[in-house]
Amino acid sequence: MEAVGSSSGAKYECLLFDMDDTLYPLSSGLNLACRKNIEGFMLQHLNIEESEVPRMCLELYREYGTTMAGLKALGYEFDNDEFHAYVHGKLPYEVLKPDPVLRSLLLSMPQRKIIFTNADKEHAAQVLKRLALEDCFEGVICFETLNPPHQLLPYMDELDGHSPVLPEREGEPETQCFSINSQILCKPSVEAIQAAIRIANVDPNKTIFFDDSPRNIASGKAAGLHTVIIGSSTLVPGADHALSSIHNIKEAMPEIWEGEEGGQVEQVIQSTAVETVVLA
């Protein structure tokens, strides 16, 4: 994909955004509800001892990036779609409300904007719809993008009945991380972030990565990205900026808007921010 609305001389050409607890605050309670559902899945579908579930859930998350990845690494067998349907299917999405302030900020940014989440595409679609941000991003790199059910081949698919799934960068050789037999690929592994960089076809030196996880930020920096920790007023290892809220981005990082003429930027935004597609 060719970058839209930016030239090779621009300081930043792409913005990679984590979604959960980044585009909306941790205080929404969605994170806690998700954890409870994961524990319920472990208890009911994997027959793990009830007294072990909470500790095991947290330890696997810390060691493997997601509890799901940890369960797979330990040898537990379950269907990925069933797991996501159980964990996200009962979430109280109604706690998320449209965010016109963030929407305005995103649409004013001249760079390409892409979601990069460990979650599945259905959850990403639900969250972006509730926040009224679904047309603010060029695409979504999600669980299915990095963990396809078959060897990654150029193909087309549908998201919410209308958005096509775009093939991986044309001419990019397949790598071991996309193998059917590989373990789940997800943040905070540097390999996952490198895969996202390759799929999005971005220059890491001209890309800013926004995430609420210090581990993800450290890996993003190791992959060559400019990094911004969200939800923290102090820098963490690997972070170039720290924002207590995503809403503070214009005050903290005016360079995102530097050198752009408002009319020209608006024209580009209006012509490209039509729908959010899943990148695969």
Q: What pLDDT, on the 0 to 100 scale, is given for residue 276?
A: 47
Asked if 272 and 5 touch (Cβ cutoff 8 Å), the reply is yes
- Compute the distance between CA of residue 109 and CA of residue 257 in angstroms, rounded to an integer: 6
- Compute the distance between CA of residue 159 and CA of residue 140 in angstroms, rounded to an integer: 11
Q: What pLDDT, on the 0 to 100 scale, is given for residue 71?
A: 96
Q: What pLDDT, on the 0 to 100 scale, is given for residue 149?
A: 81
**Terminal alpha carbon distance of the chain:** 12
Three-state SS across the chain? CCCCCCCCCCCCCEEEECCCCCCCCHHHCHHHHHHHHHHHHHHHCCCCCHHHHHHHHHHHHHHHCCHHHHHHHCCCCCCHHHHHHHHHHCCCHHHCCCCHHHHHHHHHCCCEEEEECCCCHHHHHHHHHHCCCCCCCCEEECHHHHCCCCCCCCCCCEECCCEECECCCCCCCCCHHHCCCCCCCCCCCHHHHHHHHHHHCCCHHHEEEEECCHHHHHHHHHCCCEEEEECCCCCCCCCCEEECCHHHHHHHCHHHCCCCCHHHHHHHHHHHCCCCEEEC
- Compute the distance between CA of residue 52 and CA of residue 74 in angstroms, rounded to an integer: 15
Q: What pLDDT, on the 0 to 100 scale, is given for residue 10?
A: 78
Task: Compute and round to an integer the Cα radius of gyration of the chain.
Answer: 18
Q: What pLDDT, on the 0 to 100 scale, is given for residue 258?
A: 86
What global pTM score does this model have? 0.81
- Phi/psi at 227 (nearest 5 deg)? -130, 145
Question: Residue for token digits 């760079």?
Answer: 111
Q: What pLDDT, on the 0 to 100 scale, is given for residue 235?
A: 96
Question: Residue for token digits 């170039």?
Answer: 240
Of 107, 126, 133, 141, residue with least CA distance to 18 = 141
Q: Phi-psi category of 155—alpha, beta or left, where left has phi over 0 and alpha has psi -120 to 50?
A: beta
The full set of domain ranges for the chain reads 14-25+98-278, 30-91
- Compute the distance between CA of residue 141 and CA of residue 201 in angstroms, rounded to an integer: 12
Q: Does domain 14-25+98-278 have CATH number 3.40.50.1000?
A: yes
Can you give the pLDDT of all 280 residues of the chain as single tens digits?
Answer: 444 444 456 799 999 999 999 999 999 999 999 999 999 999 999 999 999 999 999 999 999 999 999 999 999 999 999 999 999 999 999 999 999 999 999 999 999 999 999 999 999 999 999 999 999 999 999 999 999 986 443 433 333 333 333 333 333 333 333 333 348 999 999 999 999 999 999 999 999 999 999 999 999 999 999 999 999 999 999 999 999 999 999 999 999 998 654 433 332 323 233 344 565 4
CATH architecture of 30-91: Orthogonal Bundle (1.10)
